[in-house]
Structure formats: structure tokens, C-alpha cells
Amino acid sequence: MIHPLSFLPTRPLSARQSAAATRPTHLFASPGSLARSDRFERQASGITSLRFGQTTDTQAAQETARKVAQAIYAYQDKYHATCTEADCPTCIDSLAQRVLPFVTQERPLELVLPGFPYKSKSQKKCMGVRADAAELVAVERLTSLLDDVEWAYPKGAHLTIYSDGRSYCHVSGVCDNSVSTYLESMRELLDHARLADKIKIVSLEDIAPVGNPHAPVGTPHNWPAMRDWLLETYGQPLPEIQTAIEADPALQSNYQGMKCFRQKDLEGHPDTLVTDPATNQTLPYSEFGCKARRRICGHLALLGMQSAMAWGDLIDAQAPDALRLSVHAKPCGSRKFGISLTGQTGRSITPWHAVACELPKQPDHPAPISTRILVPRALAEEAGLEATEVDLHPTGKHAPGLPMFQAKTPASVQQLLSLLAKTAHRPHTTSSAP
Ligand SMILES: [Zn+2]
């Protein structure tokens, strides 16, 4: 049986993080204060960092690359990882190999992460279309990863989030305006948290050489033309993707997960107009028979995979040297490295499928801190948690309040964790938000 408390976020156990764990997690320290804090921690721990600018020694560069790899490895989605041993040497070696060129060239490490597409339109999962405290939890964890890289390598790292929602929202029945609102709120969140210099978010319209996303108000944006450009430039023909799915169990699992998503979503919105690929007939989903519905959902899943794969190839073209992170677990030693955006154990969850819940301070902790976890909205409401807001900026000045839920009593925490334990056995699904 899974212990309910196992869902609480776990933090990697580096010296920096042990010290950082004493900082309040509900306040977002500015980059400047983090830097001051890190300098203090370095002095207190007696650790001397390598002196860059004088790195001519290959062995020293390799050692640094390995420390950076270990720092990143600590953020792995361990629940879904396929590694057979702790501190997996295969994964750490693989990461170190890709970090080494940055260290030898003495430049900041470049990290890329596809994800943060849009908020799921399911009211059982999220509270709206804007980024909220759930995204803040994920961004705080990503910031912690960047801090740990900087701890090992003073040149530090930059992260680019490649928001993939624009590339497949048309398949998921999410409108482009919702994608735009989400992107805008994510940029506001990064800006107010003073992280825009460390983490940036880009979308299809920032890259595609077609359409005019910055046209005057009232001018329609040409999102479909941008998606056409993406598929014409990077897309694979659907029959090739079908063949690849049949040959690869991992792709097959991904395909089934996306198909299941489409089925659940359309069953919840039966008036949605869909097209049967066999007859080219367009009708409300509810007017098709069972066989046609399965065919339609399978085709939509295939289109979603085609867009996601094209988006992945675009990222490779845009940032060929960058170290690629993923919100999905990847095979041991893979070129892409699967991280957890929450640090929670158990079934992985992303902020665009969830709400943030703040648990009460722990009185027995040496430096009492609050803890935030991500759960589907329906679970938070079933546990009787109260919807509230958290100020993004510590002073609350000129910063939007971010929606979240709060558990005020030990009983409500216990109920929430116990509901989470009951859902833990459900199979992991993909990131495509219905
Ligand atoms: Zn491994």
C-alpha cells in the first residue's frame, strides 16, 4: 500500500538544497537574494567551486560536467524512470557528455523543455485558462534546478520553455485565444517573479516565418498558416507515423493514451463538430456510431502525435546543442531527460492539468515551511479545501493573485492525501490536455 505522505514533494539531497530547504517556499526570492544566499551557503559549507576562466584542464572540465549532470539528475521523474540503480551512472554519464561542451567553452548551459501548452479545459482538473499557482510551483522547481546547476558551475544555465500548445490545440479542441491567454499569463508570472532573465517561454508564433502575431488589434492572427508551416517543414506523413507506432511499444502507449484523452474529452463535449477520416463527413460527435467514434479519436490522436513530433524536430533545429529536458519519463540514458515538475512521488502530474494546494506549516519541522502540491481540482474540492489566492510578489505590489487551494486543518490534509493515494494506481497519461 502506498503511504499517503509519499505524495509530499521530495527534494534532492545536495548540500545546497538541504540549506535551501530552510527557506520559505511560499515566498519567491529574487535572483539577487538567491545569489547572496548561495554565496553564504558556499562559505558555510566550506565548498570551493572551480575557478572558471582558467579552465584549461580537461579533467577539471569533466569533473564539473559530472557535478552539473548529478545536479540535473536529482530532478529526474524517478517514479516513472526505467533506471535499475540509484544515482544511475548511465543517465549521469549521458547528461555529463552533453554538458561538457558548454563547460569546455565556458558558456552558460542551455536547457530546453517542451510543455506548458495551455490549461486543460476540464473543470475537474483546473480553475481557468490562465497560469496560476500550479505553474508557480513548477517554475519554482525549475528555478531550483537552475540554481543547483549554478552551484556546480558558476556560468549557470538558461532554460527555454517551448510551449507546444499552439502546435496542436486545434486537434484538442482548445481555441487559439486560450493559448494566447495562457502564454501571456506565463510571461507575467516569470516577469513578476523576476525570472524572465533565467527562464523564457517561446511559442510557434515566435518562430514561424508566416502569419503576423503582432498585427494591429482587430487583425486576425494566422495561426493555421503557422501550423501548416510547422508540418510542411518538420512534419512526417501520417502513414510513416502509423508504421512507427506499430513498431515501437513506447509510441504505441503514447498513442493509446492520447486516443483515450480524446475519447474522454469528446464524451464530455458531445456537441463538438468532428470529421470522420473514412467518409470525410463532419457532424457533432454524438451523431457518430461507436466504430466511427473510435476511428475519429484514433485519427485525432495521430494528428496530435504528428504535431508533437514536428514540434520536437523544430526544437532540435532551433537549439541543436541544448540539453533537452522532458516532462515525461524517458528510457535510461536517453538523449532527452525526464524530470518531475513537482518533486511529488507517485503518478506524475503537470501544472496545466492541476491546481496547487497549500498544506499547513509543519510544526515539527526545524524551520516550519509550507508545502504546495499539485492535484486535480476535483480532488481538492472533494477534500473540502478552500479556494484562495497567493500573492506572486512578496510585497503584493503590482502583482496578480494566483488562484490556489488551501488546506487549513490536519484533517483536510489527511483527506486530500488519502484521496490521492486512491488515484495512484491509475495509468499515467500524456501531456495533451483535453
Ligand atoms: Zn538511468
pLDDT tens track for 338-384: 999 988 877 788 999 999 998 876 666 555 556 888 999 999 999 98
Task: Give the pLDDT confidence of 20-35 residue by residue, as tens digits.
Answer: 443 333 322 233 333 3
Query: What confidence score (pLDDT) does residue 363 get?
Result: 64
Calculate how far, in angstroms, residue 268's C-alpha sits from the geometric centre of ligand 1: 39
> Which of the pair, 87 or 213, is modelled with greater confidence?
87
Boundary-marking domain end, from 274, 299, 319: 319
Q: Is 386 helix (H, G, I), strand (E, B) or coil?
A: strand
Distance CA 109, CA 103 (A): 8
Q: Are residues 313 and 246 in the same domain?
A: yes
Dihedral sign for Cα 263, 269, 270, 273, please.
Answer: negative
Check pLDDT > 70 for residue 40: no
> Could you count the other beta carbons within 10 Å of the beta carbon of residue 392?
19
Tell whether 188 is covered by a domain: no
Q: Are residues 252 and 307 in the same domain?
A: yes
Tell whether 34 is covered by a domain: no
Tell whether 278 is covered by a domain: yes
For the ranges 69-73, 285-289, 325-329, 384-388, the one whose mean pLDDT is highest: 69-73
Query: What confidence score (pLDDT) does residue 431 get?
Result: 38
Query: What is the Cα Rg of the chain in Å?
Result: 22
What is the phi/psi pair of residue 372, to 5°? -115, 135
Tell whether 113 is covered by a domain: no
Q: Which strand (E) or helix (H) includes residue 391?
A: strand 386-391
Calculate how far, in angstroms, residue 68's C-alpha sits from the geometric centre of ligand 1: 16
Calculate how far, in angstroms, residue 69's C-alpha sits from the geometric centre of ligand 1: 12
Query: What confidence score (pLDDT) does residue 242 get?
Result: 93
Q: Are residues 362 and 414 in the same domain?
A: yes
Check pLDDT > 60 for residue 396: no
Q: Are residues 242 and 311 in the same domain?
A: yes
Biggest alpha carbon distance in the chain?
A: 71
Tell whether 173 is covered by a domain: no
- Ion ligand 1 nearby residues (CB, 5 A): 83, 88, 90-91, 332
Calculate how far, in angstroms, residue 85's C-alpha sits from the geometric centre of ligand 1: 7
Task: Give the pLDDT confidence of 114-162 residue by residue, as tens digits.
Answer: 999 999 988 889 999 999 999 999 999 999 999 999 999 999 999 999 9
Query: What is the percent of the chain where pLDDT is above 70?
Result: 78
Q: Are residues 412 and 355 in the same domain?
A: yes
Q: Are residues 365 and 409 in the same domain?
A: yes
Q: Are residues 254 and 301 in the same domain?
A: yes
Calculate how far, in angstroms, residue 63's C-alpha sits from the geometric centre of ligand 1: 19
Q: Are residues 243 and 310 in the same domain?
A: yes
Q: Are residues 357 and 312 in the same domain?
A: no
Q: Are residues 360 and 415 in the same domain?
A: yes
Calculate how far, in angstroms, residue 88's C-alpha sits from the geometric centre of ligand 1: 5
Tell whether 274 is covered by a domain: yes
Quote the number of domains for the chain: 2
Check pLDDT > 80 for residue 427: no
Calculate the average pLDDT of the chain. 81
Q: Are residues 252 and 296 in the same domain?
A: yes
Calculate how far, in angstroms, residue 321's C-alpha sits from the geometric centre of ligand 1: 21
Calculate how far, in angstroms, residue 38's C-alpha sits from the geometric centre of ligand 1: 29
Query: What confidence score (pLDDT) does residue 178 get?
Result: 93
Tell whether 271 is covered by a domain: yes
Calculate how far, in angstroms, residue 346's C-alpha sits from the geometric centre of ligand 1: 18
pTM of the model: 0.82
Boundary-marking domain end, from 278, 296, 319: 319
Residue carrying the nine cell digits 552551484: 151
Calculate how far, in angstroms, residue 92's C-alpha sits from the geometric centre of ligand 1: 7
Query: What confidence score (pLDDT) does residue 196 get?
Result: 78
Tell whether 282 is covered by a domain: yes
Calculate how far, in angstroms, residue 90's C-alpha sits from the geometric centre of ligand 1: 5
Query: What confidence score (pLDDT) does residue 122 get?
Result: 86
**Count of alpha carbons within 13 angstroms of residue 279, beta-carbon side:** 13
Boundary-marking domain end, from 319, 343, 359: 319
Q: Which domain holds residue 389?
A: 351-423
Calculate how far, in angstroms, residue 311's C-alpha sits from the geometric centre of ligand 1: 25
